[in-house]
Amino acid sequence: MKEVLATVLANAPIAEGVYSMTFSAGTPMPVRAGQFVNLGVGDGAHLLRRPIAICKAEGENITVCYQLKGEGTRLLSRLPVGGKVSVLLPLGNGFFVREEEKKIALVGGGVGIFPMISVLREYVPKGKEIYSYIGFRNKNAVCCLDGLEKSTALTVVTDDGSYGKKMNAVQAFATDMDRVKPDVVLSCGPVPMLRALKEVMQGTGIPCYVSLEERMGCGIGACLVCVCNKTDGAHARVCKDGPVFNIEEVIL
């Protein structure tokens, strides 16, 4: 993990309330799918960094996509090209797919679609078959299709049916699961979505890994702001022990 003062190369809207930002970290960064950065929002009044998944890492250039939520992401959206941003990276364990797992199903909803792009970028070149089930709020929120279209098959759905079928990503996956028979399922999205996925996966014997979105402080395992409860009664730090966990391992 490094702290760098990165230079913003691009920072512009790509869908309603969603921005894509590319910055140069100044040095090439080895990044695994599902890892994240912790971005300084930089005005002194907002001391906590904001965790954002890495979509794309190419040499020293890193691209993230973020939805405007509150003050932190609003400040990020105002960073000009050429501006500086303090970044801790790469953070977290990321998604790890075993050699024998040839067929991957991706289930992503909301801001959880962004780490799915990093999975496609890492595992398509490694010869994996990837079936993606991606849910957006409505057609105005649809974005990143160029990255998602690297999938072997891509199903895009929306909550209101304004783009693709009217359903969520878990429903789209559940209706196709028996046909595709994935060796492993990787997912990221809001907790109710992950709970629904846990139900779908129960009794299938298919391993399923989820990336959790917890509020964070330090992002490096020191402050315990991000602790989640595990099914064995223990606790885990989402930033350091995760954000990716086996779905059976965590209480959602």
Q: How far apart are CA 94 and CA 90, in angstroms?
A: 10
Between 177 and 196, CB nearer to ligand FAD: 196
Between 116 and 130, CB nearer to ligand FAD: 116
Distance set, CA 103 to CA 127, 231, 237, 251 (Å): 9, 27, 29, 26
Q: According to CB under 6 A, which one of 164, 190, 207, 217 is a site residue for ligand FES?
A: 217
Query: Does the footprint of ligand FES cover residue 4 (CB under 6 A)?
Result: no
Query: Does the footprint of ligand FES cover residue 223 (CB under 6 A)?
Result: yes
Q: Which of residues 180-199 bind ligand FES (CB under 6 A)?
A: none
Query: Does the footprint of ligand FES cover residue 1 (CB under 6 A)?
Result: no
237 binds, among ligand FES, ligand FAD, none (CB under 5 to 8 A by kind): ligand FES
Distance set, CA 102 to CA 85, 127, 178, 202 (Å): 38, 8, 16, 21
Q: According to CB under 6 A, which one of 39, 189, 237, 243 is a site residue for ligand FES?
A: 237
| Residues linked to residue 157 through DSSP beta bridges, in sequence order | 135
182 binds, among ligand FES, ligand FAD, none (CB under 5 to 8 A by kind): none
Q: According to CB under 6 A, which one of 107, 157, 196, 216 is a site residue for ligand FAD?
A: 216
Torsion of CA 201, 227, 191, 41, to 10 degrees: -130
Between 90 and 182, CB nearer to ligand FAD: 90
C-beta of 119: minimal distance to ligand FAD in Å? 13
Distance set, CA 35 to CA 1, 8, 31, 55, 64 (Å): 11, 20, 7, 9, 11
225 binds, among ligand FES, ligand FAD, none (CB under 5 to 8 A by kind): ligand FES
Instruction: Report the interface residues with ligand FAD, using CB under 6 A.
Output: 36, 50-53, 64-67, 69-73, 111, 114, 213-216, 243
Instruction: Report the interface residues with ligand FES, using CB under 6 A.
Output: 216-219, 221-226, 237, 239-240
